[in-house]
């Protein structure tokens, strides 16, 4: 047997828990009756209806005829994908700035220290507003700013040179590199 004090505490918690469950059930029942009385449908049936709109970027195949549950899945996958990219970029930037700050080169150490002192304790939301303001006020494409004719900055984005390869070209390049290493 439990001591009297513990038994009493357990009994009180059990009764309060049951009262909360009953109260929650009554509240949900009243809400459902009210919605039904007003002719408003409730539930998760909408998840199987077609959305009728498109998503700009998707890691899985998605069309405007797909149901709501699939667009929610697309949103979750996009969030995880962008979060992973952000995590990797933040790690690389953090390591780079940390190495700069501890560098034996005084100029690099000074640059690392200046960056850290300027950014430290500035809330992320304020940084996001700052970068949003910077990127939305870039010049239009016809008068885009260029850096050495290589990098183009415009209101539509930042463009840098890259390779446009067909699927399988990376595998071919890797195979050629491996063959070159073996033959060398």
- State whether the Cα torsion 34-40-41-43 is positive or negative: negative
Q: Which residues pair with 145 in a beta bridge?
A: 153
- Quick one: pLDDT band at residue 15, thresholds 50, 70, 90? very high
* Radius of gyration in angstroms for the set of CA atoms belonging to the chain, rounded to a whole number: 29
Q: What percent of the chain has pLDDT over 90?
A: 51
Q: Which two tokens stand for residue 18?
A: 């049951």
CA angle 97, 101, 107 (to 5 degrees): 110
179 domain-assigned: no
Taking the C-alpha atoms of residue 112 and residue 97, their distance in angstroms, rounded to an integer, is 5
**What is the predicted pLDDT for the residue at 72?**
95
Q: Which strands, in side-by-side order, build the sheet including 151-154?
A: 145-147, 151-154, 157-159
Secondary-structure percent of the chain, ordered helix, strand, coil, rounded to 5: 65, 5, 30
Q: Count how many domains the chain has.
A: 1
More confident residue, 87 or 144: 87
What value does the mean pLDDT take over residues 153-164? Answer: 82
| Three-class SS state of 66 | coil
69 domain-assigned: no
**What is the predicted pLDDT for the residue at 10?**
93
The half-sphere exposure of 111 on its side-chain side, counting CA atoms within 13 A, is 9
What value does the mean pLDDT take over residues 22-42? Answer: 92
**Per-residue pLDDT for 70 more than 60?**
yes
- Quick one: pLDDT band at residue 56, thresholds 50, 70, 90? confident
Which residues constitute the domain of residue 28? 9-42
178 domain-assigned: no
Q: Which two tokens stand for residue 148?
A: 């050495």
Taking the C-alpha atoms of residue 117 and residue 112, their distance in angstroms, rounded to an integer, is 9
Q: Which two tokens stand for residue 34?
A: 């009210």
**Per-residue pLDDT for 1 more than 80?**
no
27 domain-assigned: yes
- Quick one: pLDDT band at residue 52, thresholds 50, 70, 90? confident
Q: What pTM was computed for the model?
A: 0.56
Task: Give Cα 18 distance to the centre of its chain.
Answer: 39
104 domain-assigned: no
Q: Which two tokens stand for residue 165?
A: 């390869």
Taking the C-alpha atoms of residue 111 and residue 20, their distance in angstroms, rounded to an integer, is 58
- Quick one: pLDDT band at residue 2, thresholds 50, 70, 90? low
């Amino acid at each position: 047997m439990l001591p009297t004090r513990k038994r009493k505490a357990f009994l009180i918690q059990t009764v309060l828990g049951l009262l909360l469950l009953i109260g929650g059930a009554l509240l949900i029942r009243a809400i459902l009756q009210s919605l039904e009385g007003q002719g408003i449908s409730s539930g998760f049936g909408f998840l199987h209806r077609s959305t009728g709109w498109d998503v700009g970027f998707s890691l899985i195949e998605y069309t405007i005829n797909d149901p709501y549950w699939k667009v929610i899945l697309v949103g979750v996958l996009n969030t995880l994908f962008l979060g992973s990219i952000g995590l990797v970029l933040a790690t690389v930037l953090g390591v780079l700035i940390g190495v700069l700050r501890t560098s034996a080169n005084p100029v690099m150490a000074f640059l690392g220290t200046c960056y850290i002192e300027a950014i430290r304790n500035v809330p992320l939301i304020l940084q996001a507003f700052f970068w949003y303001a910077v990127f939305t006020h870039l010049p239009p494409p016809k008068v885009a700013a260029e850096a050495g004719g290589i990098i183009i900055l415009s209101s539509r984005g930042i463009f840098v040179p890259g390779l446009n390869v067909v699927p399988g070209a990376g595998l071919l390049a890797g195979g050629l590199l491996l063959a070159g290493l073996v033959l060398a």
